[in-house]
Amino acid sequence: MKPVLIGFLCEWCAARALENMAHKRLKLPDGFLPLRVRCSGAVEPALLTEALRRGALGVLVGGCPRGHCHYREGNTRAEIRLKVYRKLLAALGLSPDRVRGVWVGSGEGERLHREIWQFWKELTGEDRPL
C-alpha cells in the first residue's frame, strides 16, 4: 500500500484552508487524504488508532486557530486529547509524531500546505517538488 496521511479537517477553518490552498493550485502529496469533520474536537482518539491500524502512516488533525473555535473550546479539547494520545504512543514505544494537530485559519492555505508537506516529509522522506 502506498503511504497515506489522513487529515481530519474541521469544516470551519482547516477544510476551508484546504479550499483556499486549492484556489492557489498548491499541490499536496497523493497520499494525503482529507476527511471533513464538524470540529477538531469531534475527532475521537479511537479514530486515530483506527487510522493507524489500517495502515495510515500519520494522522493530522486540523482545527481553528487557538481561541477561535466555532464551538468555543473544541480545538482546545482536541489539543489536550492529542497530547494525551501522543504520550500513550510514546509509552508504547511508537513515535508520537505520527499524530499531530495543526491550527489554521480559513485563509491560511499556504500555511496548511507547508505543514502538510513538512509532516509528509518527516513520515516518508519525500519532499515537495519544486
Q: How far apart are CA 57 and CA 9, in angstroms?
A: 17
C-alpha dist (Å) from residue 27 to 73, 120, 127: 31, 13, 12
User: Which of 61, 64, 99, 123 is close enough to bind other proteins by CB under 8 A?
Assistant: 64
Q: How far apart are CA 7 and CA 60, in angstroms?
A: 5
Q: Which is nearer to other proteins, 100 or 111 (CB)?
A: 111
Of 67-96, which residues contact other proteins (CB under 8 A)?
67-74, 76-77, 80-81, 83-85, 87-89, 91-94
Distance of closest approach, residue 110 Cβ to other proteins, in angstroms: 9
Distance of closest approach, residue 100 Cβ to other proteins, in angstroms: 16
| Host H or E run for residue 60 | strand 58-63
Angle between helices 45-53 and 74-91 (to 10 degrees): 50
User: Which of 3, 47, 96, 100 is close enough to bind other proteins by CB under 8 A?
Assistant: 47
Q: How far apart are CA 47 and CA 41, in angstroms?
A: 12
Distance of closest approach, residue 103 Cβ to other proteins, in angstroms: 12
Q: Which is nearer to other proteins, 108 or 115 (CB)?
A: 108
Find out whether 75 and 34 touch, Cβ atoms under 8 Å: no
Q: Which is nearer to other proteins, 51 or 60 (CB)?
A: 51
Distance of closest approach, residue 102 Cβ to other proteins, in angstroms: 14
Of 91-130, which residues contact other proteins (CB under 8 A)?
91-94, 105-108, 111, 129
Give the SS3 label for residue 102: strand
